Structure 1
């Protein structure tokens, strides 16, 4: 196997793990409660922002992995 292919596969697997962590961070830091028709938002904005950063990093790693694997051909 070519070294570039191995690096591409590692980048893709790493991006999936980081993306999963980012999705969990965004969903865990978002909370809404309905009390007597009033909607109360109890979100942690810094946690959500960190989750979005993880998702962006995962997207960059995924594209880099695909590019590296295509370049290896």
Structure 2
């Protein structure tokens, strides 16, 4: 197996891991409470932003891994 294919597979695996972390960060930092018909948003904006950065990195690594394997 070529070194490029091994690196591509590692990039894909790492991107899946980063995607998992990003999804958990976004979902853990988003919270809404309904109190007497009033919706209260108790979100952590910086945590959501961090989760979205992880998701963006995961997407870039996934595309890089696919490109590396096909090359």
TM-score surpassing 0.5? Answer: yes
Unaligned runs of 5+ in 1: none
Displacement, 1:45?
A: 0.1
Which contiguous aligned blocks of 4+ residues in structure 1 show a shift greater than 2 angstroms?
none
Q: Given the alignment of the two structures, is residue 30 of structure 1 paired with residue 3 of structure 2, yes or no?
A: no
- Map 1:1-73 to 2 at 5 A: 1-71=1-71
C-alpha RMSD over aligned residues: 0.2
TM-score with structure 1 setting the length: 0.97
Unaligned runs of 5+ in 2: none
> Cα deviation per residue 1:6-37 (whole Å; 9 max; x = unaligned)?
00000000000000000000000000000000
**Distance in 2 between residues matched to 1:30 and 1:44, nearest whole Å:** 7
TM-score with structure 2 setting the length: 1.00
Number of residue equivalences? 71
**Distance in 2 between residues matched to 1:6 and 1:64, nearest whole Å:** 13
